[in-house]
Amino acid sequence: MPINQTKLHLLAYDIANPARLQQVHRTVRQAGIPLQYSVFLVPGTAPDIDLLLRELDEIIEPKEDDIRVYPLPSRLQADRYGRQQLPLGLDLVTGDHLHDSLLALLGEPTP
């Protein structure tokens, strides 16, 4: 995969300190879409994700906090159960694999 190809990543965190938790949440929210508490969908290239992780490394305490990033496949199949909706103001642009993967992760039908 080319280094500058945008793909989806699942980012989850467990932060022990409330002040750091707020900082991490604000930082990740600028880059990604919240799916659940402390779980975000982050589209980005490898350099984008590296930059985000460097920013988070400035905030967290490695002995107390945990941040994990999982790259998602371009053809994603995902199931969901229970209440789910897109955050207010989020519009999806159609026409590419990234869009289809995002819809699958959110449990929406693909066009």
The residue ranges of every structural domain in the chain are: 7-106
pLDDT at 83: 64
More confident residue, 76 or 60: 60
Q: Is it the case that residue 92 has pLDDT exceeding 50?
A: no
State which of 43-47, 72-76, 104-108 shows the largest mean pLDDT.
43-47
**Tens digits of per-residue pLDDT, 5-46?**
888 899 999 999 999 999 999 999 999 988 888 999 999 999
Residue with tokens 């022990």: 16
d(CA 100, CA 17): 36
Mean pLDDT of the chain: 81
d(CA 100, CA 37): 23
Residue 4 banded pLDDT, cuts 50, 70, 90: confident
Residue 74 banded pLDDT, cuts 50, 70, 90: confident
d(CA 98, CA 1): 14
Residue 93 banded pLDDT, cuts 50, 70, 90: very low
Mean pLDDT, range 44-69, rounded to an integer: 96
Which CATH architecture fits 7-106?
2-Layer Sandwich (3.30)
